[in-house]
Amino acid sequence: MAIGGLLIYQRGSSNAGGTPSFDGPAFKLGITKYQPKELVEKAMLPLTNYLSTSLEQNVELVVVDDYSNLADKLVRGEIHMAALSSSSYVRAHERNPELAPLAMPVRKGGNTNYEGYILVRKASDIHTIEDLRGKVFCYVNPTSTSGYLYPRAVIREAGLDPDRDFSATRFGGDHLQTLKALHKGACDGAATYATNWHEGGKHDMPPQDFRPIATTDRIPDDAYVLAPSVDAKKSAMVEKALIELEPGSKLANEVLVEPAKDSSQDIVGFLAASDKDYESVREYLRQEARTKEQ
């Protein structure tokens, strides 16, 4: 299967600039602005080019501010597929059980899950979550899994109430802006995902400027989900195209790994996914809901 996909990809990438172009309406792939829009677009370009040639249809990347807007656009049929964070997928699936993941990305190291960190500045005298009591804390976005949901659970487990025990909470909007806020001193602690911290040096924030004081449980990676309005034929084409990007294969390396050397993209392939892959996230959401009811 991968060999056939490689031939298709090579044929499409012979167009000017390596970007294929087809007549007709675009297939819209939505993703949240987890980093500044220009960085997200650069990171996702190899995948959208590949999907364009595989589907023989232009694939347009739609970058939205947060996951709730992304899920709403998917359900309404304004976009055809979305890369939903695990918590946003679970919430969307509860509202519309027709939604189901086709695939999830595999990251460098062969991981289909990742972890979040609670970081402080290295020079800070904060060493534990308890030391953050009365301080300013920065989250990414209320719909973020690693930048909100999971860190809040860690904070509660440490004995702090994330809604009452900080002097203030702020939202960076995306992971990079949240890290910048911490670096500049706008907050005393911040939540983010691991890769964002390690790649801070690309944005004049060397990783050694920060220190982790807590780590979240492992978080299932994004769910690539089709809109209910996508017909069965197109759905099969999309699923085939993603699953052919088997991690470690020649096709996946050519499509994803080699073009990513100068971007923040760390996806090395895709694997089939199902709703049960996100069951652990459901428990975190139940815990969050129980806390808010108290």
Q: Residue 11: which pLDDT band, with cuts at 50, 70 and 90?
A: very low
Fill in the amino acid letter for 190. A
Least confident interval from 190-199, 260-269, 271-280:
260-269
Cβ–Cβ < 8 Å for 268, 247: yes
Q: Span 224-240, mean pLDDT?
A: 96
pLDDT greater than 80 at residue 178: yes
Q: Does the structure show a pLDDT above 50 at 88?
A: yes
Strands 223-226 and 101-107: antiparallel
DSSP per residue, 108-151: TTTBSEE-EEEEEETTSS--SGGGGTTSEEEES-TT-IIIIIHH
Q: Is the pLDDT of residue 7 over 60?
A: no
Whole-model pTM?
A: 0.85
Strands 267-272 and 101-107: antiparallel
* DSSP H helical ranges for the chain: 2-12, 37-55, 67-76, 86-95, 150-157, 175-184, 194-198, 232-243, 250-252, 279-293
| Token pair recorded at residue 217 | 């449980």
pLDDT grade for 188, boundaries at 50, 70 and 90:
very high
Residues 49 and 28: their CA atoms lie apart, in Å, by: 12
Is residue 1's pLDDT more than 70?
A: no
